[in-house]
Amino acid sequence: MNNKLPLNIVITLSLIFFTSCAVKSLQIDQDRHQLTENTTSEYRSFYLLGNLNSSDAPDANFKAIIQHIKSRSKKEDFTLILGDNVDSENFNRKDKDEKDKKAFKMKLEMIKELHSNIYVLAGNEDWNDEGLKGLKNIEEMVEDVLDNDEAFQPENGCPMEEIEISDTMHLFIVDSQWYIEDWNKNPDFNDKCEINTREKFITVLADEMRKQRHKTVIVAMHHPLYSNGVYGGQMGVENIYQPSIENFYVPILGSAWSFIRAQGGVSRQDRYNPLMNELMEEIKAASTDLERVFFVSAHEKTLQFIDHDHIKQIVSGTSVEEGYASLGKKGVLSSGERGYAELRIYKDKSSKVFFYQVANGTVEEIYAGDAFAKARTYNTDSLPTITEKFKKASVYTKEETTKDKEYEQFYGKHYRNLYGIDVKAPVVMLDTLYGGLKVERAGGGNQTQGLRLVDSLDREFNMRALEKDAIQFLKSAGFGAVDVDKYFGGTFPQELIRDFYTAAHPYGAFAVPRLAGAIDLKHTHPKLFYVPKQETLGDFNATHGDRLYMIVEKPDDSFNSTHMFGNNQDVESTQDLFDKIREDEKNRVDERMFIRARIFDMLLGDWDRHEDQWRWAEIVDPKDDEKVDFIAIPRDRDQVFARFDGDLLDFMRKWMKGARQFGVYGPNIKHIEQFSQSAIKLDRAILQSSDLELWKEEVAYIQKHITPDVVSKAFNEMPDEVKDDLWQQTQEDFLARKENLPDIVDRYYHHFLKFQTLKGTDKDDYFTITRLPNGITTIEAHRIKDGEKGTLLFSRTFVQKLTKEIWIYGLDDDDVFEVKGEGDDLIKIVISGGKGDDVYKIENGAAISLFDYKSEDNGLDRKNGAKVVFRDDYEINHYDTEKVPSTSSQPHLELPYNPDHGFAPSIGFTKSKLGYERNPYSSMYGFKAQYFSLTQAAKFDVFSGLGNALGHWNLEFKGLITTNNYTENFFGYGNDSEFDRDTNYDANRIQLQRQEAGFHLIKIGHYGSTFDLGIGHQAVETDGNIPAATRITQLRDDYLNLHVNYQYKSTDNDRFPTRGMLFTAKTGFTDDLSNRRYFFHIDPDVTFWNAMNDNRTIVLKTNLAAQTRIGDDPYFYQAAVLGADNGLRSFRTERFAANYAMNASGDLIFDLKPMKTKLLPLRMTPYIGYDIGKVWLNNTSSARFHNSYGAGFQLSMTGLFSSSFSYFHGDEGGRLQFGLTISQ
């Protein structure tokens, strides 16, 4: 069949090119444009300006904008300057005429005259050139001109700040450029920031946003979450008639570059660049629970209003210059003309968006429309009058907790029956409790349903429902991409999680205060109440009330006059504690009291003790008011006495280490390592001086002071209705566990001691590491005063039999590290110098690794065997409490079928180790084995790797071997090779054995690129029956292979890309060591994804690929090949072989709505596809194109499996393929 490249593919690609164009002119989607009258005239305005970076003095249009805002603004309003305020390169260069600086100052002086609250944000241009240092210069100017030390936010190059505007509004200011910056450029990066990792930023932002979910939330950040401008993947129309690469006019190539940027997010400033997309998708997920959220941004030199249901995006970036935008997906308005936007939020939570255009010094309103409607209010007038003093209620219904014996045997009994028992609880009206409480905000837990309360003395309390929220947990667990309420409500996962919660004693927390008080531990005093719906709850009546609640004090300094948290000066979070003890050695943790609290955790069976479960009372030393002791305050005791029984959990604990954290409360703790995994990182961060003797002393103290009488009185604090045989048994188990504490603590301490972290302060410290015989190492740290050793920070002795690895952090300032002594059986030690000019005195560098910044003036005379890595690398040079050695394993199972191989099941396994230096692993190894049923052959792959083996390059080894009956297909060379569909498949199978081994240097970039440089050996053995047409003349050929490969990938969504690009370029050289033959190969391949409809459920996936072999003719197994796995899906594998190949394909993919099942949502993505391609030999030509057309679908259930099915037809018949992949 003779074909030319079909016209419809050309037309389709052209449509993609032109329909993604953006224009300057105003566009409004009238179907989405609504404007209603407000029922209240009380509102706050947010005036939004962005992209002020121009070296020109303010022109008439800018002055008109400022005057327009000034005439309307009020003192309670906000003006947000959304970044890209200056051209940082010009602003910070001293050899310039300071034109940019003067222009920016003039703009600030005009903005200062506004009547509103003014905040200036950073954009990517403000970070450019000198990075953190240059940003600080801009910050200082803003604060100086505006005469406000808080005007530039976030400060100090940190990622976020939040401002509580009112009871109904909350503002988050995010520096989005912080996330995508190259953190290795400046050793001072995050030096003054509480949040110092990207992971922590996302966690904190999500937690804080969740607390404000009852309000209208405004997130101000330079880069937009949604954009239909150039950075969002729309091409400016000028790129067609005036194509350019960045700022340089380049005909044809300029348009190609613009198209690639629009598709692939090649610039790190593009919305769909991988790192930027990672940030935006995380922020989007954090916004899932918010009912009303605005993202206000600049970056694009456009005006845009994009409506994504509960998320509204406003872009206001044309204060100074014009740009290009389109309506695009969900767009309500777009314009590239100069102007600004105004957001009004009314007292009733309704909101409106206004856009203004300026021309010739005149401002004109071009849009006014609704954003959110008035919030529904709960009618408290209809609530009944409460007269009851007490009420009986249960956590779950009786029906939910009634299970048969088979269920209880398999899933466990837990404390399920207690959740269904009605208990008598005091009925409380919040406005009379504790002198009167009012609701401050919603709680922030991932599974608890709670409210924050405050009394007349501004003391805060937490009100938590005893019933936990399984749906909220599923949202936080990563299922937020679907409507969790719709697709998980009433499903097995929801029911299972709700049942899983019953393993925790619902009333166990009420026994804790007496037990804690007996051993002088700081503690809260939770009380059980029945809270009816009532006027004080206001609109929270919709989700709260008529249930059992625990009301408990929030540990903070508002209770400083009481003894429950000590007579404290303040109460700090764990992160604030870390900052305090770094600042000054006079800030100390009372390690004895913390150890007592940790042993108490073990006694209670409380396995959930991460750092947010602690607060720290700041108490001034009565003997020295310059010294401060921090006393641990444990909180959130909702997991005490947990009983995770049942056959299912017994089986999981036997085979899955992760499940061993969930034990059955009893006289002992069987799996102490897993039981303590949520707390051990905090233990290592806090405990710097203590040894086993102190732990033993605290065990004895607890055993002495928690008597049977204390236990009896404590358990009697539980409701009378739950005092059954299990209640009695739990007391007996508690007392038995108390007697077993010496063994439990000894086992935990030895696990804890295997790996240790030690750290200094942010001042000058002197570390002395002494190697001694018998595997002993002593480590001392002193403050340096007047050049000499001063105050002792800690002195520790370790033995290699017990401690395998120690990480020592110098933190900030100028530290000295001295390593001396010979010793033997040495402990592996990592020294991280941190910031400052450090000195290393290494007499014995064996088993020592040094890490520090190359750009700092560090002193190192001799390595003496030490591994030394001086590199400006943020990840290896900053202190992170979450960073510990670990290992992980990932199994792999696939079951594919195709006509050439039959069923070809494969099984694999990868094990990764994370040490101090990782990228993303420290080391890894694995294998994959595959069996082919039709030929009874097998293939085995092995691989291993070392992270950062050469700078930021990983070194990987890859090997492959097949059985000698392994086959590949050969039909002859060329585009017109013969095919007889009546011939048995074996007629075209060539038996051969492959043996391959090679080394690869791989660099994984932050912005989507991967480089792979490699060298390897390949041997191919064939049997004696090989056809002459193959041109193979001997049974074995050995090859030397060199390659340079590059890959760039950027997609907006991994599961179902609707915009993106995948580009690979494989180049290499092959030398036949047996026959003095050689050739080069160049194999480019590019794939694009494009949404074809507004809701992005139909996507066109297009692919174009080529293969080239230059030099001596390759054998068929190295040739340019097309077939089922290489671009022609209806043909047999390796169907066409030649020197050159080219193919293209297009798939129209449909993302159907998830199907609700009793297990997990099931997703189906059907597609129809078309392939076309050809091969050709040297000195020959063929006009013939081969094509395939067909359809298929993918079926997936997140976290369990994915499967695929396809059927394609072509000139040589049809081909059916399907497969199943089991996820870990």
Whether the per-residue pLDDT at 476 is higher than 70: the answer is no
Whether the per-residue pLDDT at 666 is higher than 50: the answer is yes
Return the pLDDT at 5: 47
Average per-residue pLDDT for the chain: 91
pLDDT band at 1096 (very low <50, low <70, confident <90, very high): confident
Return the pLDDT at 244: 46
Return the pLDDT at 237: 58
Whether the per-residue pLDDT at 990 is higher than 70: the answer is yes
pLDDT band at 672 (very low <50, low <70, confident <90, very high): very high
Return the pLDDT at 124: 93
Whether the per-residue pLDDT at 1 is higher than 50: the answer is no
Peptide bond between residue 154 and the one before it cis (omega within 30 degrees of 0) = yes
Return the pLDDT at 1154: 86
Backbone φ and ψ for 285, nearest 5 degrees, come out as -65, -40
Lowest mean pLDDT among 508-512, 755-759, 1024-1028: 1024-1028
Return the pLDDT at 245: 44
Cα 228 off chain centre by: 25
Return the pLDDT at 249: 47
Return the pLDDT at 255: 61
Cα–Cα separations (whole angstroms), residue 16 to 251, 267, 1093: 20, 20, 12
Helices (H) and strands (E) in the chain, counts: 28, 60
Q: What is the mean pLDDT of residues 686-691?
A: 96
DSSP string, 1134-1191: T-EEESEEEEEEEEEEE-PPPBP-SSS-BEEEEEEEEEEEEEE-TT------EEEEEE
Return the pLDDT at 1101: 97
Q: What is the mean pLDDT of residues 717-745?
A: 97
Give the model confidence (pLDDT) of 282-325 as tens digits: 999 999 889 999 999 999 999 999 998 899 999 999 999 999 88
- 899 within 8 A of 875, measured Cβ to Cβ: no
Whether the per-residue pLDDT at 338 is higher than 90: the answer is yes
pLDDT band at 4 (very low <50, low <70, confident <90, very high): very low
Whether the per-residue pLDDT at 340 is higher than 50: the answer is yes
C-alpha span between 1085 and 1107 (Å, rounded)? 9
pLDDT band at 481 (very low <50, low <70, confident <90, very high): low
The answer to whether the Cα torsion of 321, 326, 332, 333 is positive or negative is positive
Give the model confidence (pLDDT) of 933-945 as tens digits: 999 999 999 999 9
Whether the per-residue pLDDT at 19 is higher than 70: the answer is no
Highest mean pLDDT, choosing among 639-643, 1024-1028, 1166-1170, 1200-1204: 1166-1170
Return the pLDDT at 21: 65
Share of the chain above pLDDT 90, in %: 77
pLDDT band at 1160 (very low <50, low <70, confident <90, very high): confident
pLDDT band at 762 (very low <50, low <70, confident <90, very high): very high
Whether the per-residue pLDDT at 3 is higher than 50: the answer is no
Return the pLDDT at 626: 87
- 453 within 8 A of 430, measured Cβ to Cβ: yes
Return the pLDDT at 495: 85
Return the pLDDT at 565: 77
pLDDT band at 655 (very low <50, low <70, confident <90, very high): confident
Q: What is the mean pLDDT of residues 1078-1096?
A: 93
- 339 within 8 A of 358, measured Cβ to Cβ: yes
Q: Domains of the chain (ranges plus CATH)?
A: 41-231+267-370 (3.60.21.10), 384-750 (no CATH), 754-877 (no CATH), 886-1222 (2.40.160.50)
More confident residue, 258 or 802: 802
Give the model confidence (pLDDT) of 1120-1130 as tens digits: 999 999 999 99
pTM over 0.75: yes
**H or E segment at 896?**
strand 886-898
Give the model confidence (pLDDT) of 386-432 as tens digits: 999 999 999 999 999 999 999 999 999 999 999 999 999 999 999 99
3-state secondary structure of 457: coil
Say which residues have a Cβ less than 8 Å from residue 510's Cβ, sequence separation at least 6.
526, 527, 528, 550, 717, 718
pLDDT band at 1223 (very low <50, low <70, confident <90, very high): low
C-alpha span between 181 and 187 (Å, rounded)? 13
Give the model confidence (pLDDT) of 316-331 as tens digits: 999 999 998 888 878 9
End-to-end alpha carbon distance in the chain? 46
Give the model confidence (pLDDT) of 209-246 as tens digits: 999 999 999 999 999 999 999 999 887 655 554 554 44
